[in-house]
Amino acid sequence: MSLVVMVTVPPAGAAELARGLVEHRLAGCVNMLPGVQTVYRWGGEVAEEPETLLLIKTNGERYPELERFIKEHHPYEVPEIVALPVDRASPEFLRWLNGSLSLS
Amino acid sequence: MSLVVMVTVPPAGAAELARGLVEHRLAGCVNMLPGVQTVYRWGGEVAEEPETLLLIKTNGERYPELERFIKEHHPYEVPEIVALPVDRASPEFLRWLNGSLSLS
Amino acid sequence: MSLVVMVTVPPAGAAELARGLVEHRLAGCVNMLPGVQTVYRWGGEVAEEPETLLLIKTNGERYPELERFIKEHHPYEVPEIVALPVDRASPEFLRWLNGSLSLS
């Protein structure tokens, strides 16, 4: 199954994380969406932070290693790592994606 | 099941709605994506509006009340409230999310 | 089934493609998210491009024609066309969406 993984990061660390995921064949492509403001609950308080949202295209096979890589390279104690299932996609795109993720 | 709910709002009302959802434990966190332009069909015409996109992290248990809250606090007659299913996520994030949504 | 289709395009072509999809009743609405930077693998290299992300609301019935329309009107050899399934949504929004997509 193909997946779109949502991860939010402090803006300063977005490009390095995105590039690392593609270089290590953990993602075929990563969209970096800038200027996001996130409202969240932490320690009983409601807080707000500027973030960049990464939309990471990957597949089920590469997901476990992707999650490990993000946790090792992310500054937060509990980073958001949320995977949405792909229902259908252009066959040509899927061929390109799976080729980009393949280690062989 | 965890959900990512997409809601678009006029930019002026985004922060208040996002904060209200987190304060009422209807969302663990809300990403506010600014500067969106939306093209849509209304009354037989194709129109375009500046909007902010909210990406709301919640779960199936809290969804009915979340939908009611949005309808009560949204200026549109028919607001976009669309929930995407989460296929998998970091266990630590899910624990945090469900804790943030819990009323007990 | 309702779908949210993700397509990335060069910024200059976003509005025309989005409007064409709504005019041809292939989408009820399209959110255009500007200022995206995409990191991707192409021909063995890791590259980066400025793009606009389109979030296209449609349904399974209209998807095949939507995919054809995008391929015919997109400048890339292999455009990203990725459909996420909608798990649940406001009934009023779904009625409006299916009405906007209907050819009758």
pLDDT tens for each residue of chain B, 104 residues long: 999 999 999 999 999 999 999 999 999 999 999 999 999 998 889 999 999 999 999 999 999 999 999 999 999 999 999 999 999 999 999 999 999 999 88
When the pLDDT of each residue in chain A is averaged and rounded to a whole number, the result is 97
- Tell me the residues of chain C between 51 and 90 that have a Cβ less than 8 Å away from chain A: 51, 53, 63, 67, 70-71, 78-85
What is the predicted pLDDT for the residue at B43? 85
pLDDT tens digits along C61-90: 999 999 999 999 999 999 999 999 999 999
Residue C12 sits in a domain whose CATH number is 3.30.70.120
C91, C51 contact by CB (below 8 A): no
Full DSSP string of C19-77: HHHHHTTS-SEEEEEEEEEEEEEETTEEEEEEEEEEEEEEETTTHHHHHHHHHHH-SSS
Distance from CA of A17 to the nearest CA of C (A): 10
Report whether A70 contacts A17 (CB < 8 A).
yes
Here the tokens at position C46 are 């890791």
- The reported pLDDT for the residue numbered C44 is 85
pLDDT on residue B104 = 83
Domain of residue B27 covers 2-101
For residue A67, count other CB atoms closer than 10 A to its CB: 21
Q: Residue B83: which of C25, C86, C96 has the nearest Cβ?
A: C86
Which tokens is B86 given? 């989460």
Q: What is the pLDDT of residue A33?
A: 98
Rounded to the nearest angstrom, the minimum Cα separation between A89 and chain C is 4
| Cβ neighbours of B84 in A, within 8 Å | 84
How would residue C56 be classed by pLDDT, with cut points 50, 70 and 90? very high
Interface touch B1/C87, C-beta < 8 Å: yes
Per-residue confidence (pLDDT) for residue C58, from 0 to 100? 98
Residue that has been written with the tokens 């819990």 in this structure = B102
d(CA C35, CA B37): 12
The DSSP code for B34 is E
Tokens found for residue B25: 């434990």
Closest of A9, A4, A93 to residue A56, by C-alpha:
A4
Q: Indicate the residue type of B86.
A: V
Total domains, chain C:
1
CB-nearest to C93 from B51, B78, B85 is B78
Residue of C31, C56, C57, C92 to mutate for B, most B C-beta atoms under 10 A? C31
pLDDT confidence band for A75 (50 / 70 / 90): very high
Structure-token pair, residue A100: 């980009």
Q: How far is C104 from chain A (nearest CA, A)?
A: 26
